[in-house]
Amino acid sequence: MDAERRVGVAVDFSACSRKALKWAVDNVARRGDHLILITVRPEGNYESGEMQLWETTGSPFIPLSEFSDPVVMKKYGVKPDPETLDIVNTAAAQKEIVVLLRIYWGDAREKICEAIDKIPLSCLVIGNRGLGKLKRAILGSVSNYVVNNGSCPVTVVKSSDHE
């Protein structure tokens, strides 16, 4: 994987993360790249499945063929939406890119920055939910944290209010 670029996209299978994914596919990913989707699940007491094995280090890379399979993804407690799967399947076929998923458990801000360093990523694309100033102050902005603390170029795709 050394010669290829590793383009990361933070996804939570929401509308704003699909918009960021679509933007990354249309504007950043090119033939031969590795498109690595990073999703972060909340910490919790998981009693079964793959989550227990990989909770501290993150999952191994999950190829597109496996994360398109609901049975496999149930083991990880993740349910990719059909639109996200359509975007990555189309991109893999048309642009000849390798699509992988990596799942982390914990605080999204810290785990995304950890993924940037450990994978390592060439760049990261992340969506922005468009929280108001008050909500952002209380909840904190994942995209703002990653922009300020990530060790690679980070592009924030803003969610418009009209969607």
Domains (ranges, CATH) in the chain? Answer: 6-128 (3.40.50.620)
For residue 137, the model assigns a pLDDT of: 56
Supply the pTM of this predicted model. 0.88
Give DSSP secondary structure letters for 67-131.
HT-HHHHHHHT----HHHHHHHHHHHHHH--EEEEEEEES-HHHHHHHHHHHTT-SEEEEEE---
Packing angle between helix 108-118 and helix 142-149, nearest 10 degrees?
A: 40
Q: What is the pLDDT along the chain (163 residues), one digit of tens a residue?
A: 445 799 999 999 999 999 999 999 999 999 999 999 999 988 766 555 666 677 778 899 999 999 999 988 888 888 899 999 999 999 999 999 999 999 999 899 999 999 999 999 999 999 987 666 655 555 558 888 999 999 999 999 987 654 4
